[in-house]
């Protein structure tokens, strides 16, 4: 990820009153421990490193970390449950494809129609995909998190719970803490004032600091990046993120497969959980998988790599789809098949509701970029 913001516009995170917490993860103010990171040898070593690599003033960083609080809530929320919940696609889908979110998506799209169209023309990412991501992430800015980002990132850098992937997760949070301190310094933002999720994600699109440094853009014309209050900056930044991660303009996200026993058997055997497309379509077809995509040119798509997306729901048969490169790109935003498909389907539902509303009102113009996904 990018280390320097020298070539980018100044970053600005507009501050506001704490946002309502997401329903599944509230902040409990009593679960913080102040001054845990003052005179902490691991933090002191980190400060020395930041001073050497980024020319930070050591005394200033010591004073800053003396004001940081340990967040027991952040640790609790990243700790895996001792009895993990059973994955349930239908429950997950219903949570993110509810009518409240769809209606909010229609309002967001209509309010930002010109910006979404401009992002499509510049980055090649359809409006419905951007609308889907922002809707799943924060319901269009409604729930952006009320954790102090500095507390969350520091806690998860130095006190990540003892899990199997602890070393990798600590390294990721350390990199985000580094980037957070650099861009708040360069942007003259008080790092103790920025609010976000319990993992340190910020603003309408929930960008982690390393993603802000690498992908965020100013898209509203004021040359300052503000992901908390500027819907235009959020739209442009999401579009740039997806393009930089390989989004293919005009290509599908998923393909449907047949519901016959043979197709489901092939899909089950090939569902290995790998998000990157790696099965040539023709290989699955030769094994007996049938497609349910009218108009699909099998001959021209025979060599197209796909991944099998498995969608288990207890009490019913597992559902399967084929994910293409653009599906994989959505998993770069959040590494979950459920997440990527919910984003895609929410965007499609919002687009369909807009089209239906326009038709009912006698306006037969399609939403911008009505290209099929």
CA distances (Å), 87 to each of 78, 84, 256, 331, 347, in order? 17, 9, 21, 17, 23
Residue 75 or 373, more confident: 75
Structural element, H or E, at residue 309? strand 305-313
| Predicted local distance difference test score (pLDDT) of residue 81 | 85
The total domain count for the chain is 2
Full DSSP string of 50-91? HHHHH---HHHHHHHHTT-EEEHHHHHHHSPPSSPPPP-HHH
Residue ending a domain, among 234, 268, 298, is: 234
Residue 1 lies in a domain: no
| Cα–Cα distance, 7 to 87 (Å, whole number) | 43
| Cα–Cα distance, 192 to 151 (Å, whole number) | 8
Q: Which two tokens stand for residue 163?
A: 């899990």
pLDDT in tens, 206-216: 999 999 999 99
Question: Length of the chain, please?
Answer: 373
Residue 331 lies in a domain: no
Which residues lie closer than 8 Å to 41 by C-beta, 6 or more apart? none
Residue ending a domain, among 201, 234, 267, is: 234
| Predicted local distance difference test score (pLDDT) of residue 173 | 98
Residue 368 lies in a domain: no
N- to C-terminal Cα separation, the chain: 29
Pair (178, 46) in one structural domain = yes
| Residues of the domain holding 294 | 254-323
pTM of the entire predicted model: 0.88
| Predicted local distance difference test score (pLDDT) of residue 367 | 56
Give the pLDDT band of residue 223 (cuts 50, 70, 90). confident
Strand order through the sheet with 316-323: 254-256, 316-323, 305-313, 279-280
- Which single residue is written with the structure tokens 């796909």? 306
Residue 96 lies in a domain: no
Percentage of the chain lying above the pLDDT 90 cut? 81
Residue 373 or 171, more confident: 171
CATH number of domain containing 168: 1.10.8.350
Give the pLDDT band of residue 23 (cuts 50, 70, 90). very low
Average pLDDT estimate for 288-294? 96
Catalytic residues: 137
Residue ending a domain, among 185, 200, 234, is: 234
Average pLDDT, the chain: 90
């Amino acid at each position: 990820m990018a280390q320097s913001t020298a070539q980018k516009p100044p970053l600005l995170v507009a501050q506001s009153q704490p946002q309502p917490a997401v329903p599944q993860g509230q902040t409990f103010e009593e679960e913080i421990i102040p001054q845990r990171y003052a005179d902490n040898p691991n933090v002191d070593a980190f400060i020395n490193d930041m001073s050497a690599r980024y020319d930070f003033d050591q005394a200033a960083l010591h004073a800053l970390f003396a004001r940081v609080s340990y967040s027991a809530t952040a640790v609790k929320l990243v700790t895996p449950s001792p009895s993990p919940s059973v994955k349930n696609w239908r429950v997950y889908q219903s949570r993110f494809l509810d009518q409240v979110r769809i209606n909010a998506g229609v309002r967001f799209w209509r309010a930002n129609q010109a910006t979404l169209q401009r992002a499509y023309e510049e980055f090649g990412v359809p409006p419905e995909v951007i609308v889907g991501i922002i809707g799943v992430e924060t319901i269009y800015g409604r729930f952006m998190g009320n954790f102090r980002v500095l507390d969350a990132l520091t806690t998860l850098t130095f006190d990540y719970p003892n899990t199997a992937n602890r070393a990798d997760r600590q390294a990721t949070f350390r990199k985000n803490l580094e980037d957070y301190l650099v861009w708040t310094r360069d942007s003259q933002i008080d790092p103790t004032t920025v609010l976000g999720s319990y993992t340190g994600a910020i603003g309408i699109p929930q960008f982690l600091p390393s993603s802000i440094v690498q992908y965020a853009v100013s898209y509203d014309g004021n040359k300052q990046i503000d992901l908390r209050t500027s819907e235009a900056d959020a739209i442009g930044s999401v579009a740039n993120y997806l393009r930089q991660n390989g989004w293919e303009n005009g290509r599908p996200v998923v393909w449907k497969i047949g519901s016959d026993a043979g197709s489901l058997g092939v899909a089950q055997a090939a569902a290995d959980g790998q998000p990157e497309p790696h099965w040539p379509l023709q290989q699955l077809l030769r094994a007996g998988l049938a497609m349910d995509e009218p108009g699909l040119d099998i001959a021209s798509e025979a060599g197209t790599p796909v991944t099998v997306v498995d969608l288990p729901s207890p009490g019913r048969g597992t559902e399967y789809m084929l994910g293409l490169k653009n599906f994989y790109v959505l998993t770069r935003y959040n590494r979950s098949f459920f997440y990527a498909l919910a984003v895609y389907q929410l965007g499609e539902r919002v687009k369909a509701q807009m089209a239906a509303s326009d038709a009912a009102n006698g306006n037969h113009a399609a939403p911008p970029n009505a290209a099929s996904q």
